[in-house]
Amino acid sequence: MRSSHLVSALMAAVAVPLFIAPLAHAGPSSTVPSPTTPPSDGFDPSMVKPGLPMPVPEGSFGYIATRGATKWMDDRQPGALVRSLPVPPAFREANSAMGKIIDAELDAAMAKPGACVQIIVTPHSKSGLFSYGFFAVEPEYCPS
């Protein structure tokens, strides 16, 4: 992936979180990711591990970053950025949850040599909102 594409993906991921109600997040599996509620206080980031890339639902956009782009993203601490965005009170909890997810997935990818992250953006045509999924991916599925 060219760095300009990753920058576009990252900007899209952090520029619109104030419009997010549901979040897309799931552990690696062969099922299509779907919007879920933000993780509860029982969310354990240490349980997140790299896995298979998630399937990208029809009408969604998926990006698998290179290892270098994953490191670049991690250096910019997007989870902290999302948590610090000024949003209406109704969206603070969702932004905080999204920040935790981003941190956990990036931490999992960074902890395993060669691993990377996948970002899936799913538009919701009825509401005009987006759901974002962030997933740590095993090294053999990461582009070079």
**Position with higher pLDDT, 18 vs 110:** 110
Q: Is the pLDDT of residue 137 over 70?
A: yes
Q: Which residues lie closer than 8 Å to 29 by C-beta, 6 or more apart?
A: 51, 52, 54
- Taking a C-beta distance cutoff of 8 angstroms, is the pair 117, 109 a contact? yes
Q: Is the pLDDT of residue 74 over 80?
A: yes
Task: Please tell me the predicted confidence (pLDDT) of residue 41.
Answer: 61
In this prediction, what percent of the chain has a pLDDT beyond 90?
Answer: 58
Task: Please tell me the predicted confidence (pLDDT) of residue 130.
Answer: 83
**Global pTM?**
0.70
Q: At what angle do helices 67-75 and 89-111 cross, to 10 degrees?
A: 130
Q: Please give the Cα distance from 99 to 137 (Å, whole number).
A: 18
